[in-house]
Chain A
């Protein structure tokens, strides 16, 4: 168990929807990182959640930035801190949604990581453009209803796989990347604390359910997040200097079928049986591939001493 600090750097009175997974995400992240942190946030739910001027519910500096700029903004803050010789232990965090990270923000993110910027770039992933009202993103999973994949009479749900940001980050030779899940605050905080130990770019992919967009019950956010883990839909793993490590696995007897995860959410209820089966196959295949990558990078590519 990680030592979870009592101190709250995110105060109550936020503007998030009931049951918002992204609200959990910020709270846990700040518990891990502490006060020596500055955050920049582009257009996303978290541009609204902190409050309307002059209110603000975070106890850290917060630079609001344009949608596609998170990586560049982190670079600018870090460069200024370096230029001013200000404490290098300050965490410079870019905190963006899945659209701001994987779609419109991917260029600036790629640039910042490629330049070796000393920053923690965070994608809180609610699997669609939620702040603008549930439009599909490149990270929306296959099968999901969104307002721009409205299913209709033609079965027009989200087609194609979820963009894999962890692998994209790995391709940049990033020192450290990890996935975390708001249902597991101990490992969530532990991985952020671990990220702090590295220099250069770090990437954290947060699984953050959105009851409003997922058409799920607000009081089932954590339950759904648990199911994402137990069904292996959202594996918990880290990549440390190229080595994959699945740091938390559901016990065999606890593994649930993907269907159980899907059916908790209105966004998947339209799916015919064969598509649910295909999604199960894809999840199994992804898991198998991940485990093989883990084995390969641990045992063959980079031999453990």
Chain B
């Protein structure tokens, strides 16, 4: 029987790995991810989860262990955060290029120095070219749902890529919400056992990842991109199947919240989306024609759908909880790229928000959206604005 539990995002991740029957977990603790490894340790110790848990000595080894386990034909799971993800960087690329469907949770967190353990998306978006699918979650239910979906998508024989479930530090990782823990049998029906055709097998010995000359390398890279592109349809398909099975729609590639015929479109990722929707409702009640698109997958990037969504919009306001130094926020850059060549391109403003866990109150979000609405009359004042810096907090908090 499915049951509701009041759990943190981290526990939701642990329950997700358990329901997915991850056969090998290889993980290393880091704040704010620690509860994921603690909870899985408890599951294993109490006989509630049948998994080989490799308690490795670093995140680099965590992903290396997952890669080797996945290459041996086991469903592998890990979880990390920020500096741990950065230490894994080499192995993230390895997992993708080895075409191994490892699924992980990344509790996004700011990179130091200065030390910060709070929410920030730079750790995740810095891995945008790694070959991992990236699912940004709005709430704890979606964390669990996304893990189940990710295995199904990533293990598809046409995809065979790793996936990253992204939960915001503390805002999701340490906040309790009601989460439906599905019936195991139902999950097993949705997500059958992982049984790849090619794996380490002494009766059928193959080499994994040998040296290739330049006359091969590029073709392997192209195949990876084809899988990534194909993942767009696969995500939509699995999302539909998930909805039919569990009665819940995690949002596919992009969640469209009151976007029909809007003049102004806001774009968000992750946990700020929930608060933002409330603010959208208030502004709509005041008569503003505004809606919100939540990017759920940053990789693959839903370029085509983004293009359609903004076709008849006057202004797009994009909230980025990260900043690529020397350029702009990453979601804004991706969206602008998607719009290139469209003669009716809307005006686009990029708001840099909430870095290192800086609070994003409904008040601040409302100010941001009002600013976007005003662009319709006043025109674009600046392409990128950093919101609620100490030097101009009055502008945003008053």
* A residues at B contact (CB < 8 Å): 35-38, 40, 47-48, 50-53, 56, 58-66, 68-69, 71-77, 79-84, 90, 107-108, 110-111, 114-115
Contacts and interface: CB of A to CB of B under 8 A. Distances in A.
Interface in B57-107: 57-58, 60-62, 64-74, 76, 90-91, 94
Contact of B68 (A37, A77, A90): A77
Interface stretch (B182-190, B202-210, B225-233, B324-332): B202-210
A71 B61 contact: yes
B52 interface: yes
B238 interface: no
A76 B66 contact: yes
Residues of A contacting B: mostly: mixed
Contacts of A83: 23-24, 51-52, 69, 74
Contacts of B54: 72, 75-76, 79, 115
A126 B80 CA distance: 36
Contacts, number: 153
Given A72-B56, A77-B69, A77-B72, A47 B64 contact: no
Contacts of A80: 23-24, 52, 68-74, 76, 200
A71 B57 CA distance: 10
A76 B65 CA distance: 4
A64 B209 contact: yes
B1 interface: no
Interface in B23-76: 23-24, 26, 51-52, 54-58, 60-62, 64-74, 76
Interface residues of B, number: 41
15 contacts: A38-B200, A47-B211, A51-B210, A62-B207, A63-B68, A65-B64, A65-B209, A66-B90, A74-B68, A76-B68, A79-B54, A81-B72, A90-B202, A108-B60, A111-B56
A90 B73 CA distance: 15
Nearest to A60: B205
Contacts of B51: 83
A186 B159 CA distance: 48
A78 to B, nearest CB: 8
Contact of A53 (B67, B200, B202, B212): B212
A250 B349 CA distance: 79
A110 B206 CA distance: 28
Given A61-B201, A73-B64, A73-B65, A56 B91 contact: no
Nearest to B201: A61
B64 A62 contact: no
A69 B64 contact: yes
